[in-house]
Amino acid sequence: MLAVVYVGRENVTLQTRERPVIQDKEDAIVKVTLTTICSSDIHIKHGAVPRAVPGVILGHEFIGTVTETGEAVKQIKPGDRVAVNVETFCGECFYCKRGFVNNCTNENGGWALGCRIDGGQAEYVRIPFADNTLTAIPENVTDEQALFTGDILSTGYWAAKLGELKPADTAVVIGAGPTGLCTMMCARLYSPSKIIALDTDRKRLETAKEQGLADIILSPGREDVVKRILEETHGRGADAVFEAAGGSDTFELAWKTARPNAVVVVVAMYEEDQILPLPQMYGKNLTFKTGGVDGSDCQEIMDLIACGRLDPSFLITHRCRLEEIMGAYDIFENKREDVLKFAVKP
């Protein structure tokens, strides 16, 4: 089968690999029907994810059809259309029982797919803990609507929950890329009075406005965004700030735009250390919450997609076949076009 392999730092190639087989009674084999490229794949390529194992098949955001299950799998059966959670998790350890599935202590738990074990940028994939990791896709949900359930939509849903938003709050989302847009979409579920989106890419900001995800769009570098946010919040600052950009100065922007006693949620994955300037923050009494995502709400997310409350399919701006994916990597990483997400079909 064709598969995208992380060979080592700055080296990702399309290779032919053997099809995976059942290794454990809780496994399932999934025939991938749609996959995509995530910014985390780019972080792996650059060597910024120390846990990533050279030789692993990339891909942790995909859907497919179950072809085979282990004898202990009860909820999922061959023939089911399924969305795959970015995190495989045992459901039994200390962290899983508390919903912190990103920290599952099983050797195949947490973010393993496409990082420590073979992932879904391939024709077939083995899924550990299938009953926990797979979510059945209802008939009225399309493949493209379901594609992002297990990763960036889970991330946005998790981030919005961490932000402790209340009706009529003001939220700031820094970064209008795919993850930031999903964060805005999920923040809408909490009925904020306004969502203010920040990005240097005007096209992405316009997408946020056109999709009804942001009420106000601001461009750092073109305008004094801290001043504008203070003006929009009666001089206080935002009730919740979601940092989904991961830029060199966006962490600083996050705490500066938050009001005293606000929550700052770090959604982005950084490639470099950030500075916490505590003397400057003294008296703001901020609460910081950091990643990565605990993808434990996939069924709720799928239900919200099925009833029309969430629809992330607009994120798909490009489509290609799996054999064309290396060109897609170049476009996605280097933003050679107005790209948000690829839908890649094996």
CATH number at residue 332: 3.90.180.10
Same-domain pairing of 51 and 135: yes
* Number of domains, the chain: 2
The residue type found at 224 is: D
HSE value, Cβ hemisphere, 13 Å, CA-based, for 198? 28
Same-domain pairing of 167 and 248: yes
Report the CATH number at residue 229: 3.40.50.720
Same-domain pairing of 231 and 260: yes
pLDDT digit string (tens) for the chain, length 346 residues: 999 999 999 999 999 999 999 999 999 999 999 999 999 999 999 999 999 999 999 999 999 999 999 999 999 999 999 999 999 999 999 999 999 999 999 998 999 999 999 999 999 999 999 999 999 999 999 999 999 999 999 999 999 999 999 999 999 999 999 999 999 999 999 999 999 999 999 999 999 999 999 999 999 999 999 999 999 999 999 999 999 999 999 999 999 999 999 999 999 988 889 999 999 999 999 999 997 899 999 999 999 999 999 999 999 999 999 999 999 999 999 988 999 999 999 9
Same-domain pairing of 135 and 78: yes
Domain ranges, residue 273: 153-290
Closest to 149 in 3D by CA, of 224, 62, 213, 67: 62
pTM given for the model: 0.95
Of 275, 290, 305, which closes a domain? 290
pLDDT reported for residue 113: 97
Same-domain pairing of 128 and 170: no
Same-domain pairing of 216 and 309: no
Number of other residues whose CB lies within 10 A of the CB of residue 275: 7
pLDDT reported for residue 269: 85
Same-domain pairing of 39 and 100: yes
Same-domain pairing of 53 and 170: no
pLDDT reported for residue 192: 98
**Residue 223 is encoded by which pair of tokens?**
């305008």
